Amino acid sequence: MEHTAKAEAQELREKIGELKDDFTDAARTAKDRAVKGTTEWVKEHPFAAIGIAAGVGFVLGILVGRKSA
């Protein structure tokens, strides 16, 4: 009985390890795709990218300024 529980626990640990590895691979793939897509978009639309970055910086500056006051 005790041996069976240990074997089942070990099997469960192995399955969890495999799922963790699968999740890590999927997350890495998603990150790589996002970075590649963003890089390509910025190369195709440099002025839009600068405008978006400036807009985000402006909004963040206003928000930080309000919290400081």
Taking only the tens place, the pLDDT of each residue in 36-50 is: 999 999 999 999 999
- The tally of domains found in the chain comes to 1
pLDDT average, residue stretch 49-64: 96
Residue 69 has pLDDT above 80, yes or no: no
Residue type, 39: T
Residue 3 has pLDDT above 90, yes or no: no
Residue type, 33: R
Residue range(s) defining the domain that contains residue 54:
2-68
**pTM score above 0.75:** no
User: CA-CA distances (angstroms) from residue 11 to 22, 23, 43, 56?
Assistant: 17, 18, 48, 49
Residue type, 44: E
What's the whole-number average pLDDT of the chain? 93
Rg of the chain in Å (alpha carbons): 24
Closest CA to 69 of 55, 61, 59, 54: 61
